[in-house]
Amino acid sequence: MQFKEGVNFTDIHEAVSDPTLLAGLDYIFRKFGVEGAVITSARDGKHNEDSFHYKGQAIDLRTKHVLEALTKQIKEYLGTDYDVVLESDHIHIEWDPK
């Protein structure tokens, strides 16, 4: 489990900070071929006014590196006849034999 620089984990509720829970989340990320989960926000950051972040009851996890790892695995699976591109909200796959 990693933390983005500046994450404020002060007074975070045990329901989202329990070491066993965090280790489980990290394990799930590792199953997807990434180096582990990264917490990007807890009590910090900008959220909706009534966000549970401000109550210490929410965390955010980075997903871009998971999508990048997934995209890489898809590229390896499909081979060089396909272009696989991670877009902002989807993975684009096209057949483009070389």
Number of helices (H), then strands (E), belonging to the chain: the values are 3, 5
Alpha-carbon distance of 66 to 40, in angstroms, equals 14
- What's the rounded mean pLDDT across residues 30-49? 88
pLDDT at 98: 80
Tokens of 7: 């994450």
Domain boundaries, the chain: 1-62, 63-98
Predicted local distance difference test score (pLDDT) of residue 75: 96
pTM for the whole structure: 0.77
pLDDT score recorded for residue 91: 92
